[in-house]
Amino acid sequence: ARLVESGGGLGQPGGSLRLSCAASGFIFEDYAIGWFRQAPGKEREALLCMSKNDGSLYYSDSLKGRFTISRDNGKRTMYLQMNDLKPEDTAVYYCSVRGPSNYCSHDARSYDYWGQGIQVSVSS
């Protein structure tokens, strides 16, 4: 099983970035998907999750209205659309999957496969 992330880099405050995460080696559509991030000196933080039936959960109130999770089962890819970026969004971002399950979790220990992590930096 493998998850490969792309789309990170430098964003400007108020700008947008979209992260992609391509899956292979398992039945992607049977898994709940999640995005996490880890800033320097901080613990890994759960951001959002989407069940295999496309129900979304946000684990951070600060993200509502700014970040959106989505999936394309046909392309075996998940996405994180990040709008209105803020400097505090600077972190390494990780995609992950949990399952086979329809249920989301904020607990990183319950996720089975992880992307390699991709740096997102927000600065003017």
Say if residue 58's pLDDT is above 90.
no
Mean per-residue pLDDT of the chain: 94
Q: CB-based contacts of 119: which residues, under 8 Å, 6+ apart? A: 8, 9, 91, 92, 93
Using DSSP, state whether 104 is helix, strand or coil.
Answer: coil
67 — pLDDT class (breaks 50, 70, 90): very high
62 — pLDDT class (breaks 50, 70, 90): confident
pLDDT tens digits for range 23-41: 999 999 999 999 999 999 9
pLDDT computed for residue 12 by the predictor: 96
Per the CB < 8 A criterion, the answer to whether 80 and 89 are in contact is no
Burial class (CB in 10 A: 0-12, 13-18, 19+), 9: exposed
Say if residue 114's pLDDT is above 80.
yes
